Amino acid sequence: MEAYIVDWLNLIGRWVHFVTGVAWIGASLYFVWLDNHLQKPREAGDAARGVDGELWAVHGGGFYHAQKYKVAPSALPEHLHWFKWEAYSTWLSGMFLMVLIYWYGAEIYLIDPQVADLGKPLAITLGVLSLVAGWIVYDVLCRSPLGNSQTTLSAVLFVLVSLAAWGLCALFSGRGAYIHFGAMLGTIMVGNVFFVIIPGQRDLVAAKQENREPDPAHGLRAKQRSVHNTYFTLPVLFVMVSNHYALTYGHRYNWLILIAVTLAGAAVRIYFVARHAGKASPVPMVAAVLIMLAVAVAIAPRPQPAPEVADAAETFAQVRSIVQQRCASCHAQVPTQPGFAAAPKGVVFDSAADVAAQAAQIHQQTVVTRAMPIGNLTAITDAERALLDAWFLNGAKIE
C-alpha cells in the first residue's frame, strides 16, 4: 500500500509540476519575446504619457495592443497583474517531487555505491546543500563587481556550473546528479523571482503610490536576472526529461554530457533572443547543433565482435536466471522490490518471451549504459553483464 500511495503522490505532483512549469516558462518566454519585439509608439500622445514601446498582435480571432512604459504610468490601474505564482508553484511542486522521489527514495534514485558509498542522511544533506549553495554563490556573484560585466559574469557562471555538474556526478547516481543540477538552476531561477524581480516591482509600485522617484537599480537588476532565467530554461527542461534517457546520465562521462547539453541549450536561447531583436546570427544555433551531434557521436556504442558462447539454449537459461535475480524484482507484474507498486514503464520479465522481446533494452540498459539495475540494488556483477552482452551480440537466441 505504501508504494501505491507514493505512486499516486508522484503522479499528482508531476502533473502539477508540469502544468505550473508550462505556465511559468510560457509566460517567461512570452515576455522575453515581447520585450524584443516592441516598437516605438506611433502616437505622439503615447510617448508623452511615458510609453517606451508597443506591439500589435492578432491571436485567437482578436487584436491585442501591448504597451510598455519607460518607468510607470502616471496613475496606476485599479487591477495590476503580477506574474509570480507560476514560478513559486513550479518550484514548490518540483521540491515536493524531489523529496518524494530522490530523498525519500534516496537508496534507489540518489545513492549509487559504485559512485560514492553515501549514507542516506548524508546524501540528502549534500543534496540540500547543493541547492542552497548554488543560489548563494550565484547571488553573491551577481551583486559583486563581476555583475557589472555580463560577459565576464557569464563566463564565471559557466565555469562554476560546470564544476557543479562534475561534483554532483561524482557524488550521486547519474539520475540523481542530473535532477539536482536542474533543481539547482531552478532554485536560482525562482530565487531571482522571489528575492530580486518581485521586490523590485513592489518598490516600483510603492514609489508611484508615494509620489517618489523609483530607484532604477531595481529595474536593472531585475532585467539581468530575467535574462539569466531565460538562458537557464532549456537546460532545466532537458534535465526534466533526462531520466528517460539513460544513455546520458548513465554514461561514464555523464557530467561532461550534462555540461555540453547545458551549453547547447543556452546557445539555442541566445539565438532566439537575438532573433526576436532582429539581430539573429546563425552562429549560436549552429554551435548548439554541432555540440549535440558531437555528443551523439562521442557516446555512440562502438561495434564489438561477438564473444563466443556455449549452446544457445544453455546461454539463454543463464541469461534468464540473471534477469530473474537482478531485474525481475522491479520488472514484474507484481514487483517485490520495496518502493515499486508497478513495473517501471510497464516492462516485465515474467516469462522467457518477455525477456527475449526486451533483449535490445536489456542490453542497452545493463551493458551499454550500465544504468540498470537502478543504483545496482540487486548487485549485478561485471561477469553477468558480460554474459548478457555476449548473448545479445550473438543474436539474442533463446534456443
Q: Per-residue pLDDT tens for 261-300?
A: 999 999 999 999 888 877 878 999 999 999 999 999 999 8
Contact 186, 50 (CB under 8 A): no
Kindly state whether residues 106 and 57 are assigned to the same domain: no
Judge whether residue 236 has pLDDT over 80: yes
Domain limits at 56? 43-70
Kindly state whether residues 265 and 327 are assigned to the same domain: no
Each residue of 22-81: pLDDT tens digit? 999 999 999 989 988 899 998 888 888 889 999 999 999 899 999 998 888 888 888 899
CA 236 remoteness from chain centre:
3
Q: Give the pTM.
A: 0.89
The pLDDT value recorded for residue 376 is: 83
Indicate the number of domains in the chain: 3
Contact 226, 150 (CB under 8 A): no
Kindly state whether residues 355 and 341 are assigned to the same domain: yes
Which DSSP state fits 64? Answer: E
Kindly state whether residues 112 and 252 are assigned to the same domain: yes
Inside any domain, residue 75: no
What span, in angstroms and rounded, lies between the C-alpha atoms of 259 and 189?
18
3-state secondary structure of 357: helix
Helices vs strands, H then E, count in the chain: 16, 2
The pLDDT value recorded for residue 369 is: 86
What span, in angstroms and rounded, lies between the C-alpha atoms of 397 and 378?
25
Q: Output the nine-digit C-alpha cell for 97.
A: 517531487
Bridge partner list, 163: none
Inside any domain, residue 304: no
Inside any domain, residue 377: yes
How distant, in Å, are the alpha carbons of 181, 233, 258 from that of 45? Answer: 49, 38, 51
Q: Mean pLDDT across the chain, nearest whole number?
A: 91
Kindly state whether residues 243 and 288 are assigned to the same domain: yes
Q: How confident is the model at residue 230 (pLDDT cuts 50, 70, 90)?
A: very high
Task: Say what percent of the chain tops pLDDT 90.
Answer: 59
Closest by CA to 157, choosing from 180, 141, 173, is: 141
